[in-house]
Structure 1
Amino acid sequence: MLTAGVHKVLHKTRQFSELVMFSHTLFSLPFAIISMVWAAGGWPSWHVMLWGLIALIGARNGANAFNRLADRRFDAANPRTAHRHLPRRLLGTREVGVFVVVNYAIFIFAASMLNPLCMVLSPVAIVLITSYSYAKRFTWLSHLYLGFVIASAPIGAWFAVTGSFAFTPFVLGTVVMLWIAGFDVIYGTQDIEFDRSHGLWSMPSFFGLKNALLMSKAMHLIMMLLLVLLYFTQHLGPLYLTGLFIASILLMTEHGIIRPSNTQLMKLASYHLNQIISMVILFFTLLDFFLLK
């Protein structure tokens, strides 16, 4: 009986992890770590690292699960997403709803353990990350709104360390916003006809494939220019620039392999390469900061 119970718990945990695509935490976490290190002038305290990480995971899990709830009708109708947990009823709407509430509660509690500014801003963050789920119903700017929401990770990480506003985290947040929006546009090219037929807004469905991809390239170009700006404002060194060079090569590769009809290539372009990009930037930024400072 005990073994069966443990197996059930592990199975349910795996299902929720798949529901919220937990592995995609690698998109925001590296930039949050960079922000914390820059804010602290080194490694922040274990207290800040622990509660900052818990807050990030709680907010992200809650927002992703809510997004799956809000989009379950569209996911069921789209052949590309019909395999997801809610359309297949592998998870129920009530238990996913409870999962959302629990994770948002964890986020608020973790924010309260950091400092007053994080605590005060936590309800605002919840409104922002939750409202994203409806952006695609109203505007093709939904990609940028998604990026804006995820940009709260490095900005919030800075607040967690300092408890105050500054210029640098908002530049880093803008980097994340443009990066996320750019590859979300790439991801959205797979659903142009579906979005048009179901009244959903996206850059690919509104502007067409060619123009949307040009916009994606422009966002990634500005992202890289802002990272170069941070090289000067943060007084970084050649190792940081090496990381940016590798990241730029990976971004060019990403744009070079886009084939909306090829699911595997689109996963590589939209997800896998970007997970590598964030880790490359993190690795070389930390290497530069701790070896050359």
Structure 2
Amino acid sequence: MFSTNDTGPVADAIKQHWVDTRLPAGLRPYARLARWERPIGWWLLLWPCWWSAALAAVAAGNGWPNPWHLLLFFIGAVAMRGAGCTYNDIVDVDIDAQVERTRSRPIPAGQVTKTQAKIFLVLQSLVGLAVLLQFNTFSIGLGIISLVPVAIYPFMKRFTNWPQLFLGLAFSWGALMGWAAVFGSLSWAPVCLYLGGIAWTIGYDTIYAHQDKEDDALVGVKSTARLFGEWTKLALVVLYLVASILFALAAAFADAGPAAFTGIAIGLIHLGWQVTVLDIDDADQCLKLFRSNSKYGWIIFAGFSADALIGWMV
């Protein structure tokens, strides 16, 4: 199964990452399929899970999010983000081969075959399943349903200008899972958190998509970056305001206190900074701003977690 055709790192990967310097050559293409050398992806998948777990702690009167749940979500995010990227690369191999930034990915670069990638996809999915089975029955069913947006997302760029919306449906699903893992049900708090996560995802992935807009236009790939064009900053203002309002509603429904809302406010300042400095024609800057959303995740999580602790102490 292991490939030895290591033709080098992917174009937009973190330089000199341990995947490219320390892993055996035969394993590197699989690590690249899973995007281990680009951890921002699993952070963005993980944050809604951790936010939801922290918000559930607030609502339940616990002093902190369940540490076991946080660990499970971390393992699950790494595994399922890797599985999702592998699936995406299998589906998009012909498109990736035509785009400058993606033609160095393992399948179009000839580092692994489609069959090898499919085997790796199954292995990662089994890890994700093992994690999912640690939760309650309601959460297991909810996790299985999440496979629907995951399955359809890679095809959306062929048919709609809103593939980022479908990415949001998949990547924000953890906003439901963290709450369900604690309560075995859903309420308005996780639903608002989920909807806010979708708006946030559309925003940050629009910034990301501006890296490829010229190549996308040539090969016929659609995106909100191409749709918004010169109106991108205005669109981001709307998306980030909507996300922040929905996060505030989620906190209110969870009966959160000032720390949670302070985190949301500080997070909005960070998002406003992204919009202010954004240059949609600077691909390197777009990538840096996209990656900065990991900091935004920490801000929201810190606010929710601090609120849980304060509420428990008083």
TM-score range for the pair, normalised by the shorter chain length: 0.7 to 0.9
Pick from 184, 193, 207: which aligns with 1:172?
193
Indicate how the Cα distance of structure 1 residues 39 and 237 shifts in structure 2: closer, same or farther if over 3 A, else same. closer
Q: In the alignment, which residue of structure 1 is the partner of 2:163?
A: 142
Q: In the alignment, which residue of structure 2 is the partner of 1:277?
A: 296
Indicate the SS of the match to 2:212: helix
Pick from 56, 61, 66: which aligns with 1:39?
56
| Letter aligned with residue 280 of structure 2 | P
Q: In the alignment, which residue of structure 2 is the partner of 1:227?
A: 247
Indicate the SS of the match to 2:157: helix
Percent sequence identity over matched residues?
22
Which string of whole-angstrom CA distances, capped at 9 and with x for unpartnered residues, describes residues 81-127 of structure 1?
22323222233322221121122222223222312223334432223
> Is the Cα contact below 8 Å between 2:156 and 2:163 reproduced in 1?
yes
Pick from 288, 293, 299: which aligns with 1:268?
288
Indicate how the Cα distance of structure 1 residues 120 and 224 shifts in structure 2: closer, same or farther if over 3 A, else same. closer
Structure 1, unaligned runs of 5 or more: none
Matched, 1:24 2:73: no
Question: Going by fraction, where is helix more abundant, 1 or 2?
Answer: 1
Q: In the alignment, which residue of structure 1 is the partner of 2:266?
A: 246
Indicate the SS of the match to 1:137: coil
Q: What displacement does 1:227 show?
A: 2.1
Q: In the alignment, which residue of structure 2 is the partner of 1:129?
A: 150
Measured in 2, the distance between the counterparts of 1:7 and 1:194 equals 33
CA RMSD of aligned residues (A): 2.6
Pick from 199, 209, 212: which aligns with 1:191?
212
Indicate how the Cα distance of structure 1 residues 63 and 10 shifts in structure 2: closer, same or farther if over 3 A, else same. closer
Indicate how the Cα distance of structure 1 residues 77 and 19 shifts in structure 2: closer, same or farther if over 3 A, else same. farther
Q: Which runs of structure 2 are paired with 1:28-107 in the superposition (5 Å)?
A: 28-40=45-57, 41-43=62-64, 47-107=68-128
Structure 2, unaligned runs of 5 or more: 1-21
Number of residue pairs the alignment of both structures matches: 287
Which string of whole-angstrom CA distances, capped at 9 and with x for unpartnered residues, describes residues 216-272 of structure 1?
22111101112222343233333323322321221111112222332221111222x
Larger RCO, structures 1/2 (Cα 8 Å, 6+ apart): 2
Indicate how the Cα distance of structure 1 residues 20 and 121 shifts in structure 2: closer, same or farther if over 3 A, else same. farther
> Is the Cα contact below 8 Å between 1:257 and 1:265 reproduced in 2?
no
| Letter aligned with residue 309 of structure 2 | F
Indicate the SS of the match to 1:18: coil
Q: In the alignment, which residue of structure 1 is the partner of 2:3?
A: none
Which string of whole-angstrom CA distances, capped at 9 and with x for unpartnered residues, describes residues 104-151 of structure 1?
222223222312223334432223212111111111121111111111
